[in-house]
Structure 1
Amino acid sequence: MVYIKVLLTSLNTKYIHTNLAIKYLAKSIEDICDVTTIDFTINQDIDYILMEIVRGQYDFIGFSTYIWNLEEHLEIAKKLKQINSNYKILFGGPEVSYDAKILMENNDFIDYIICGEGEDAIFNLINTIDNNLDFSRLDGIVYRENGKIKGNENFQMVSDLKDVPKVYNDKEDLKNRNIAYIETSRGCPFNCEFCLSSSYNQRVRYFPIERAKKDIKFFIDKKVPLVKFIDRTFNSKKSRALELIDYIIENDNGVTGFHLELNPMLIDEDYLNIFKNCRKDLFQFEIGVQSTNKKTCKEINRVGDYETIKKVCQEIISYGNIHLHLDLIAGLPYEDYESFGHSFDDIYRINPEKVQLGFLKVLKGSLLYNKRQNYDLVYSEKPPYEVIKTKWLSYEDIIKLKNIEVIVDKFLNERLFHHSIKYIIKNYYDRPWKFFESFGLYWLEKNYFSRKHSRDN
């Protein structure tokens, strides 16, 4: 039997990153086709990427697509079709799942698009092609037939995650990987309107806990420096989260660290009693505060109370053994420049290791995208769809915030002149925000934003 030769690929933002999705998809179809996965990066030359793909003599090429690689994937796919019109081109991923038919209308070189989670869908697609079956029976797949775009955009979700194949095995060599990714759940219990989880049935689904433990142990045995959980809310289910945290601590190798995204409103004394006794650097926690403006949080369905968040975060920081990063998003509804400054002050006073200032991405499929006209949202038409201005923030405000972001990232997050900055803020400024604002203006006056900087210069 002659198998279809399939390549599944993606352009990652950095070499150290790997795409977990294409690993899942490859495992899903390895019994019915000859499948290969390749991780490229967005910094690699397009001609090199094309050469590597063409050299493989594939029949079918699938792209795992996100906001950071859509444009590059479209360019590569178009050139591949020009090189060989017999290539079958598939797109999938969150960036193409919500307007698949429009994307195909605008890009005639795309043959198929999977909408939603792809493990079942890609198996059905390859099986249909291989056995010359009827495409109309497929759900969540848009395709071309006799020049017409057909199919449906029903968002696909794997009903039981125990059916998702394992992607790591003992033979895999991870010695050159500084970061590995693990998924133990999908979905989110919350409904924040800027997130894609707000757009479909977001019921949280969990991989079997014994499988999660085996994956964790695999990375510990391989002594991977950092393992990142891609679960949207790791502590969405308390008993399960505590069991996995205990397992990590019990099997600690003294080397591997774990990065978790947590919701502070779900952290109680049971969590804290464990956290305060764990090894230094065993855990990194990332907490998305996004805003402390109560009206903003209510509008975007963000569940949280600043005083509770502050208390929990400061307690964790006091242990001195866990890296804590807090996130803010500029451009949310009802958050003007002054309000964002106060949100920053609130976060700064918690004293996390890093404060990450991000800018709103108006994601197709999110509730916020559907309400964008209500907020007078102006944003880039191309990925990453970043906000340009809103009803509450002018473009000039956004530029000032971007300048401040550079200062915060370079000086606060890299801990440059850390004690000096704390001393200056305490003795010469009534608010932390005012210091970083004035620092940004100083850099602007001196034209420092146009220069490259390092610790040496």
Structure 2
Amino acid sequence: MRKLTLILPLFKTRAVPRRRVPSGLLSLAAEVQAIKDVRVDVVDAESLGWDAADVVEYLVLSKPDAVGISVCSPTFPSALELMKVIRTEMPEVLIVLGGKYVTHSWQSALNAGANADAMVRGDGESAIAVLAQALAAGANRMEIVSALAELPNVWVPGKKAPTLPHAFNLQTAQPWPLEVLAHNLDLYQGDRMLIEFSRGCPGRCSYCLASRDRQQISFRPVAQVVETIAHFSAKGFSSFFFTDDDFAASPSHLACLLEGIIERGLKIKFDANVRPDSLVRCEKIAPLLKRAGCRCLWLGIESGSPAILETYRKGFETNVCERAVVTALIAADVVRTNWIIGAPLETRETVNASMDFASRLQQLGPHVPHISFMVPYPGTPLCDEALALGLISPSHLAELAESTHGEPVMPSQFLTKNELKELFYEFHQRYFTPESLASLPPAVADEARLVLSSAGLTNKKLPLKYKNGDFRESCIHRIEQHGEDYSSIKTPN
């Protein structure tokens, strides 16, 4: 029996591990499960708080023939360290690297010294199936690399740039094999369980990685998704987050899913991301969303300036956002609106337009603005625009790929990074006043405090008092309140 281990690396900058089931790796593991004579397991190092030494200790004991590592931008440094230790302790193991970071920054990963035998761009189900089939056939490391090299979206040493593949057809996807997790499901108690219904987005947003390689929308079978939710629900999980790029992309598919949840009698709450124009097309099924347990809809509005919306290629106007907020207020207990500061052509006036628009939307009903900074991820049209304007340099692309949205990483053509940060604080001060927080319904007020805390805005920066206390303490409490013994699980320093 040959063995493949799939790993989600540690997110070192988190004070407390975020415990969410590794949905992407479970999708890959499902493809391997369908192949005889190959065993697969999943190590969620992010949730376990395991560093490279911890993971390699597990690998030495379990003796896999191949290792697959999935990385996003913030976890890439941990992946580099992990690959280095694996190469030292287990030099014969095949290492394959994939995930969002590799999909859009494979060259940066290569230049940074990624110690991998192969790197996979885009959805990895087809590549992992080829790898597993080669393992089942008894192929050695070099023969497996040769098999992977035949795929256009896989890089191996000596091969030219890999291409982006068509999206994997989720209609043919196998159910998640939860039994392959190297730990008990109870580890995830206290956080929202991730669920995948669809991949792809109808948008063409200039800053979004998904708009480049996920134009085609694919849906998992409704019965499979409902059954997965029911399985988690039977294990005591009641809070979910749909990972879809646009949960409202298809009103008909969404209606079928919601009806399935309701008919099954599942008592759950869930969050999801939606495009405003997509949600407007779902106006008639808004009550169905509420009945199925929609806790919070996250609306990608991004800006109140028509000029900035045009540069973002959002594909809708501000009046659509007003209709979307009204629909969301019917459909969900809480409404979040997402806003971005720092477009290449951002000015004080365009940020003011966003502040004004957020306040105008508040008149429609209480919602929670979530404000973040623009990151020009390599491979996006917005990154090309920032390069052309000299706002970033080619030498900084690798660094940008590892950035998050909590700090400004570039100026605009008209505002410095410090000025953008001042406007970030001003946006919060103008919108989140003590009076406005006091007037919010309890669920909305809790969401507002969570947004402020996660943004690092303490009483020293804003004249606000938090009922929830320090964000780290609230995370720890959220874990401990379930009565589970996590004393043996390591947390990052």
> Normalising TM by the smaller chain, what interval?
0.7 to 0.9
Match for residue 374 of structure 2 among 353, 357, 360 = 360
Query: CA–CA distance in 2 between the matches of 1:309 and 1:45?
Result: 43
Give yes or no for contact 2:6–2:25 (8 Å, CA) kept in 1. no
User: 1:335-414 counterparts in 2 under 5 A?
Assistant: 335-351=346-362, 352-378=366-392, 380-381=399-400, 383-384=402-403, 387-404=409-426
Match of 2:480 in 1: none
Q: Deviations over 1:28-78 (max 9, x none)?
A: 123352221011128554433443333333332221110121111111211
Query: CA–CA distance in 1 between the matches of 2:461 and 2:218?
Result: 48
Give yes or no for contact 1:187–1:204 (8 Å, CA) kept in 2. yes
Query: CA–CA distance in 2 between the matches of 1:257 and 1:421?
Result: 20
Q: CA, structure 1 residues 388+151, in 2 after alignment: closer, same or farther (shift >3 Å)?
A: closer
Q: CA, structure 1 residues 252+354, in 2 after alignment: closer, same or farther (shift >3 Å)?
A: farther
Q: Could you tell me how far 1:90 is from its partner in structure 2?
A: 1.5
Q: Could you tell me how far 1:122 is from its partner in structure 2?
A: 1.5
User: 1:122-161 counterparts in 2 under 5 A?
Assistant: 122-128=128-134, 130-131=138-139, 132=143, 134-135=146-147, 136-144=149-157, 149-150=158-159, 152-161=161-170
- Residue 225 (structure 2) pairs with residue 225 (structure 1): no
User: 1:92-111 counterparts in 2 under 5 A?
Assistant: 92-107=98-113, 109-111=115-117
Moved more, 167-176 or 393-402: 167-176
Moved more, 167-176 or 100-109: 167-176
Q: Could you tell me how far 1:443 is from its partner in structure 2?
A: 4.1
Match of 1:249 in 2: 262
Give yes or no for contact 1:265–1:304 (8 Å, CA) kept in 2. yes
Amino acid across the alignment from 2:174: P
Moved more, 33-42 or 132-141: 132-141
Query: CA–CA distance in 2 between the matches of 1:325 and 1:108?
Result: 37
Amino acid across the alignment from 1:361: V
User: 1:173-192 counterparts in 2 under 5 A?
Assistant: 174=185, 176-177=188-189, 178-192=191-205
Match of 1:436 in 2: none
Amino acid across the alignment from 1:18: V
Q: Deviations over 1:239-288 (max 9, x none)?
A: 1212222333344444x101122222233486356428945964311101
Match of 2:490 in 1: none
Match for residue 81 of structure 1 among 67, 87, 94 = 87
Q: Could you tell me how far 1:26 is from its partner in structure 2?
A: 1.6
Q: Deviations over 1:110-169 (max 9, x none)?
A: 21111111011112134346433644423311123xxxx326512133453222221056
Match of 1:29 in 2: 32
- Residue 5 (structure 2) pairs with residue 10 (structure 1): no
Match for residue 274 of structure 2 among 253, 262, 275 = 262
Moved more, 13-22 or 42-51: 42-51
Amino acid across the alignment from 1:345: D
Could you state the TM-score of these two structures normalised by the residue count of structure 1?
A: 0.80
Moved more, 173-182 or 391-400: 173-182
Match for residue 207 of structure 2 among 194, 206, 212 = 194
Match of 1:435 in 2: none
Give yes or no for contact 2:410–2:417 (8 Å, CA) kept in 1. yes
Could you state the TM-score of these two structures normalised by the residue count of structure 2?
A: 0.75
Query: CA–CA distance in 2 between the matches of 1:247 and 1:396?
Result: 49
Q: CA, structure 1 residues 299+53, in 2 after alignment: closer, same or farther (shift >3 Å)?
A: same
Q: Alignment partner of 1:302: what SS?
A: coil
Give yes or no for contact 1:328–1:344 (8 Å, CA) kept in 2. no
Q: Alignment partner of 2:410: what SS?
A: strand
Q: Could you tell me how far 1:105 is from its partner in structure 2?
A: 4.5
Match of 1:433 in 2: none
Q: Alignment partner of 1:236: what SS?
A: coil
Query: CA–CA distance in 1 between the matches of 2:334 and 2:280?
Result: 18
Q: Alignment partner of 2:19: what SS?
A: coil
Q: Alignment partner of 2:272: what SS?
A: strand
The higher radius of gyration belongs to: 1
Amino acid across the alignment from 2:358: I
Looking at both structures, which has the greater relative contact order when contacts are Cα pairs under 8 Å and sequence separation is at least 6?
2
Give yes or no for contact 1:291–1:343 (8 Å, CA) kept in 2. yes
Amino acid across the alignment from 2:305: N
Match for residue 437 of structure 2 among 406, 418, 429 = 418
Query: CA–CA distance in 2 between the matches of 1:127 and 1:26?
Result: 13
Q: Kindly, what percent of the aligned residue pairs are identical?
A: 18
Q: Alignment partner of 1:8: what SS?
A: strand
Q: Alignment partner of 2:205: what SS?
A: coil
Amino acid across the alignment from 2:356: D
Aligned residues: 425
Amino acid across the alignment from 1:23: L
Query: CA–CA distance in 2 between the matches of 1:161 and 1:382?
Result: 28
Moved more, 19-28 or 279-288: 279-288
Give yes or no for contact 1:362–1:385 (8 Å, CA) kept in 2. no
Query: CA–CA distance in 1 between the matches of 2:178 and 2:132?
Result: 24
Q: Alignment partner of 1:76: what SS?
A: helix
Q: CA, structure 1 residues 115+75, in 2 after alignment: closer, same or farther (shift >3 Å)?
A: same
Q: Deviations over 1:325-380 (max 9, x none)?
A: 11001112322233213202312332344211111122122222233223433374
Query: CA–CA distance in 2 between the matches of 1:302 and 1:345?
Result: 19
